[in-house]
């Protein structure tokens, strides 16, 4: 058995964790909206048509912010189609995903759902097929108190108070040739700059996210970031990053190491922001919004084809394995490790589409394997992120040279005098002994050691068997004389929770 070491010290602060680090995403795609969060015919639907079983799971997660309405969808979206009397809303060909969009769910329904889900909206504007004019009208509709055409229209639609949407994305993945209205960096940079300017004239209190690259593998990365920030730097607050990984060749050790790519991606984008800051002699800091991240590959390989222009077909529905949950946990840890610069992130997505929550049409809802690490981060990943200076044995990897068996970070919630250590043991066959020096937390004790393991890396939760993979409070972490020890089972997700003892 091998040993990994780390140290816990409240002074080794990485940065304050913005609760929005654990956001999520709902796109008009497949069954995310229709049959996902909105299904008026469902047994549990409320008077707004929102599924109660799904809402209960979203409330259990306590997701702080949800991005909407896309994704690729937004680049062809007319937001006006989705407001006003439902009977008058147009049906449209939805070009991004080749489906039929009925517009029975739109901005106001999303705001109502957010309120019930106890979450905040993050809206994206269409900079693909549309531009500045639609964006300024949209923010006037949502955020202006009244007395103007668009704000009074909102009132006429039954919403007297402004929606007060705080965060807005300037388009989606505009670097991608698949995007409706794909642009060069120079084209997007100018459009985003001008759109940002007028959106902030309508409401100077909003925060704006510029589109970064759709992935670190894009041929235009990182020049895209440098160019678009050159245009937008003083007008935006965040730049976006997106990434999805998959185990395409069945090489699980390499698959589990892919969070190291996410780590490099974040570090590089943060450096580019700082380079432009220096170049512009700016006092403003642009932070990072990792507003799409997840494992996504099962559905790319095995999803059945559907008739084009069908309504809410099952699309992009990955059924997650246990090993997916392990990489997912490593990705969460990576986000927390960069809490000083990554201030927002959105798990893509929330329901049915590459999601922790799955539903059957007019049937049951269940939690995928990835639900649990996400829940744990939301519950316990609070306060400040701590650099634990891990020292771990490593394994060879063709892309990353050496990949540590241990992926880990700790969080410290000073107000509640509690610490959480999040850890993945990437070894598929050996227990990893964890030794942590916790002397800087005198009087603390182990509250619980949660583990998630499975004898089968390919185990999944399904509608019929929803509890095949679930976390257990069965770990053996113990703290004596300031030294913490724990056995991290082979291929495991772990949360070790400490708190100051009462006496
Ligand atoms: O999340 C699914 C899709 O992935 C989004 O629509 C797009 O932005 C990304 O390519």
pLDDT at 503 over 70: no
User: Measured from the CB, is residue 71 less than 6 Å from ligand 1?
Assistant: yes
Active site includes 464?
Answer: no
pLDDT score for 154: 98
Tokens linked to 431: 């227990």
**SS3 track for 382-420:** CCEEECCCCECCEEEECCCEEEECEEEEEEEECCCCEEE
In the chain, count of helices (H) and strands (E)? 11, 25
Domain residue ranges of the chain, discontinuous segments joined by +: 2-9+386-500, 18-380
| pLDDT tens digits, one per residue of 102-124 | 999 999 999 999 999 999 999 99
pLDDT at 502 over 90: no
Strand 384-386 to 13-16 pairing = antiparallel
Three-state DSSP at 250 gives coil
Superfamily of domain 2-9+386-500: Golgi alpha-mannosidase II (2.60.40.1180)
Instruction: Taking the CA atoms of 190, 194, 197 and 199 in sequence, report the sign of the dihedral they define.
Output: negative
User: Measured from the CB, is residue 172 less than 6 Å from ligand 1?
Assistant: yes
Pocket test for ligand 1, best of 211, 348, 350, 355 (most atoms within 8 A of CB): 348
Distance between CA atoms of 127 and 74, rounded to whole angstroms?
A: 8
Tokens linked to 348: 């893509």
Distance between CA atoms of 410 and 486, rounded to whole angstroms?
A: 15
Tokens linked to 88: 């008058």
pLDDT score for 243: 98
| pLDDT tens digits, one per residue of 181-203 | 999 999 999 999 999 999 999 99
| pLDDT tens digits, one per residue of 225-246 | 999 999 999 999 999 999 999 9
Name the helix (H) or strand (E) containing 376: helix 371-380
Active site includes 173?
Answer: yes
Smallest CA-to-CA distance from 268 within 207, 216, 202, 198 is with: 216
Distance between CA atoms of 502 and 444, rounded to whole angstroms?
A: 9
Only one residue has tokens 């957010």, namely: 114
**CATH number of the structural domain 18-380:** 3.20.20.80
Residues 323 and 373: beta-carbon distance below 8 Å: no
pLDDT at 338 over 70: yes
> Which ligand 1 atom minimizes the distance to the CA of 96?
6
Which entry of 27, 207, 225, 292 is annotated as an active-site residue?
A: 292
pLDDT score for 347: 98
């Amino acid at each position: 058995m091998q040993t990994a070491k780390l140290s816990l010290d409240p002074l080794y602060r990485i940065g304050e964790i913005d609760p929005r680090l654990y956001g999520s995403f709902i796109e008009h795609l497949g069954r995310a909206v229709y049959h996902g969060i909105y299904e008026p015919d469902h047994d549990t639907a409320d008077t707004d048509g929102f599924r109660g079983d799904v809402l209960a799971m979203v409330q259990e997660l306590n997701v702080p912010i949800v991005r909407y309405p896309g994704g690729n969808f937004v680049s062809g979206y007319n937001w006006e189609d989705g407001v006003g009397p439902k009977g008058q809303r147009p049906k449209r060909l939805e070009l991004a995903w080749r489906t039929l969009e009925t517009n029975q769910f739109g901005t106001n329904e999303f705001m109502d759902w957010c309120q019930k889900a106890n979450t905040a909206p993050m809206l994206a504007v269409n900079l693909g097929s549309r531009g500045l004019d639609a964006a300024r009208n949209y923010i006037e509709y949502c955020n202006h108190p009244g007395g103007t055409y668009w704000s009074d229209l909102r009132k006429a639609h039954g919403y007297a108070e402004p929606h007060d949407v705080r965060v807005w994305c300037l388009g989606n993945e505009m670097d991608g040739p698949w995007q409706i209205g794909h642009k060069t960096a120079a084209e997007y940079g100018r459009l985003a700059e001008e759109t940002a300017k007028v959106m902030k004239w309508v409401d100077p209190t909003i925060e704006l996210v510029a589109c970064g690259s759709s992935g670190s593998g894009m041929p235009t990365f990182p020049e895209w970031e440098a160019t678009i920030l050159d245009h937008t730097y003083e007008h935006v607050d965040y730049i976006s990053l997106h990434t999805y990984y998959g185990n395409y060749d069945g090489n699980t050790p390499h698959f589990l190491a892919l969070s190291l790519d996410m780590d490099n991606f974040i570090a590089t984008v943060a450096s580019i922001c700082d380079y432009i800051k220096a170049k512009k002699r700016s006092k403003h800091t642009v932070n990072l919004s990792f507003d799409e991240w997840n494992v996504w590959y099962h559905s790319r390989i095995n999803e059945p084809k559907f008739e084009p222009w069908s309504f809410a077909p099952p699309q992009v529905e990955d059924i997650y394995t246990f090993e997916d949950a392990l990489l997912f946990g490593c990705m969460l840890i990576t986000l927390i490790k960069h809490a000083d610069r990554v201030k927002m992130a959105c798990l893509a997505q929330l329901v049915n589409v590459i999601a922790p929550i799955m539903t059957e049409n007019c049937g049951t809802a269940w939690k995928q394997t990835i639900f649990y690490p996400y829940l744990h981060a939301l519950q316990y990943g609070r306060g400040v992120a701590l650099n634990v200076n891990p020292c771990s044995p490593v394994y060879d990897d063709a892309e990353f040279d050496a990949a540590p068996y241990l992926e880990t970070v700790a969080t410290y919630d000073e107000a509640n005098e509690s610490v959480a250590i999040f850890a993945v043991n990437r070894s598929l066959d050996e227990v990893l002994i964890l030794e942590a020096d916790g002397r800087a937390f005198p009087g603390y004790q182990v509250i619980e050691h949660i583990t998630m393991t499975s004898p089968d890396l390919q185990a999944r939760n399904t509608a019929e068997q929803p509890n095949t993979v679930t976390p257990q409070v069965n770990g053996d972490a113990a703290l004596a004389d300031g030294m913490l020890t724990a056995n991290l089972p082979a291929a495991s997700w772990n949360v070790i929770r400490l708190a100051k003892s009462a006496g």
